[in-house]
Amino acid sequence: MKKIHTKSSCCKAKVYNFGRRRFQCSLCKKTWRNRQKKRGRKKIRVTTNIVKDVLLRGETLAQRSRRGNLTERQYLLRYHRALDKINNKKWFPEIPDGKLILIVDGLWTMSNKKRYVIYLMALRSVSQSLAYLVPPIILSGSEIRKKWEIAIETIPPSVKQRIVALVCDGISGLPNIANNHDWVVQRCNFHFIKVMKRFRGKSNSHIQHKELREDMYQTIRKAMIVSYGKEYDDILKHLENLINDINCPKWVRVHGNEFMRHREAFRSYLRYPKYNLPFTTSSMENLCGSVRNLLRRSRGFKNEKSLSKWITEFIRLKETITCNGKSQPN
């Protein structure tokens, strides 16, 4: 309903109308508008498309400017404005119900002549092959148990209490963290095989005791996949004989003894088939490769805050990775 005899709010006097928007008090001559117009330059609408192009599709700002109507500097300002807007919102993925597997891996990088470790984590249901990435934690220094505890504590308690297994590369401290939480530990077989491959001596024709090294390498690989039974017991006996051989090189014996001590952690996927555990952390290694590619394209960061913004948004956009369980032998 239109009011034709409205009094001014300042003097309660008669109001003069100038069109449909401007008004004036007849007593003090104060003017106002009923729909105040915003002053200054119009704000540019912030969209996340440019962030997806740079982080996920690998497009540079120079390439973006060549196919657009703006300069590289203008695209840079819009990119950082969009990145700041997104990073102001805290997020955590919607994890499916049921028992969960925690898959972790660390990636170190240098920024402003300082070493940082990116602690990457993913949660996967025991009944699915899709793992959901959780917000990464970036801490300065080396990759140690205390900092892994800080990273794992960022997982909400309601989600953490549903974790039943931890898949890791066997770095010092992670199995102890799993034991404190009563989690099953599955160590990455590929990482240990890669270590043993260095002592294999296949490419060096002059290395000593080459046959023993090769026998040790192949025996450990069999011990990781053979089912429990007489064959497995025979493999362990043969492995003990190789370790105790007088000609066994020092570091080959050291790693052989390490496998014997932790052999059950390499075979958790056989002991707990109901959890559908992965054989390796290859899915996280693939994610680390994507993060390394982003770090290479970014050509360094000024500080830890900038590094955290880029990596966190990249993980949020990546959202999931595929992590299949190891197929069980017949």
56 within domain boundaries? yes
Q: Over pLDDT 70: what percentage of the chain?
A: 96
Region of residue 50 (left: phi > 0; alpha: psi -120 to 50; beta: else): alpha
305 within domain boundaries? yes
Reported as a single tens digit per residue, the pLDDT across 266-281 is 999 999 999 999 988 8
- Whether residue 209 sits in one domain with residue 177: no
Residue type, 153: E
Mean pLDDT of the chain: 87
pLDDT at 184 over 90: yes
pLDDT band at 20 (very low <50, low <70, confident <90, very high): confident
pLDDT band at 102 (very low <50, low <70, confident <90, very high): very high
pLDDT at 43 over 80: no
- Whether residue 156 sits in one domain with residue 123: yes
213 within domain boundaries? yes
42 within domain boundaries? no
Q: Which of 317, 318, 319, 313 is nearest to 83 (CA)?
A: 313
Residue type, 323: C
β-pairing verdict for 114-125 and 100-111: antiparallel
Stretch among 70-74, 153-157, 214-218 having the lowest mean pLDDT: 70-74
For residues 60, 61, 65, 66, the Cα torsion angle rounded to the nearest 10 degrees is: -20
- Whether residue 269 sits in one domain with residue 195: yes
pLDDT of amino acid 3:
64
State the average pLDDT over residues 132-158. Answer: 92
For 75, the domain range is 49-87
∠62-297-284 over CA atoms, to 5°?
140
pLDDT of amino acid 34:
81
Q: Evaluate whether 302 touches 80 at the Cβ level (below 8 Å).
A: no
- Whether residue 305 sits in one domain with residue 162: yes
> Can you give the CATH number for the domain in which 289 is found?
3.30.420
- Whether residue 173 sits in one domain with residue 313: yes
44 within domain boundaries? no
Reported as a single tens digit per residue, the pLDDT across 279-303 is 888 899 999 999 998 888 887 777 8
- Whether residue 161 sits in one domain with residue 60: no
Reported as a single tens digit per residue, the pLDDT across 224-261 is 999 999 999 999 999 999 999 898 888 889 999 999 99
- Whether residue 172 sits in one domain with residue 106: yes
pLDDT of amino acid 90:
81
pLDDT at 183 over 90: yes
- Whether residue 329 sits in one domain with residue 267: no
Close Cβ partners of 116 (under 8 Å, ≥ 6 residues apart): 108, 109, 110, 138, 139, 140, 304, 307
Handedness of CA 149, 122, 107, 310 (dihedral sign): negative
pLDDT at 35 over 90: no
Distance of alpha carbon 309 from alpha carbon 84, whole angstroms: 8
- Whether residue 128 sits in one domain with residue 166: yes
**Could you tell me the two tokens for 80?**
């950082």
Distance of alpha carbon 219 from alpha carbon 109, whole angstroms: 35
- Whether residue 75 sits in one domain with residue 28: no
43 within domain boundaries? no
- Whether residue 219 sits in one domain with residue 261: yes
pLDDT of amino acid 205:
63
For residues 43, 48, 49, 55, the Cα torsion angle rounded to the nearest 10 degrees is: 130
140 within domain boundaries? yes
pLDDT of amino acid 330:
43
Q: Evaluate whether 114 touches 301 at the Cβ level (below 8 Å).
A: no
Distance of alpha carbon 195 from alpha carbon 128, whole angstroms: 30
Q: How far is CA 155 from the centre of its chain?
A: 13
Indicate the number of domains in the chain. 4
pLDDT of amino acid 209:
82
pLDDT of amino acid 89:
77
Distance of alpha carbon 85 from alpha carbon 49, whole angstroms: 13
pLDDT band at 204 (very low <50, low <70, confident <90, very high): low
Which of the pair, 44 or 205, is modelled with greater confidence? 44
- Whether residue 183 sits in one domain with residue 322: yes
Distance of alpha carbon 157 from alpha carbon 162, whole angstroms: 9
What is Dmax (Cα atoms) for the chain? Answer: 111
3 state DSSP class of 32? strand
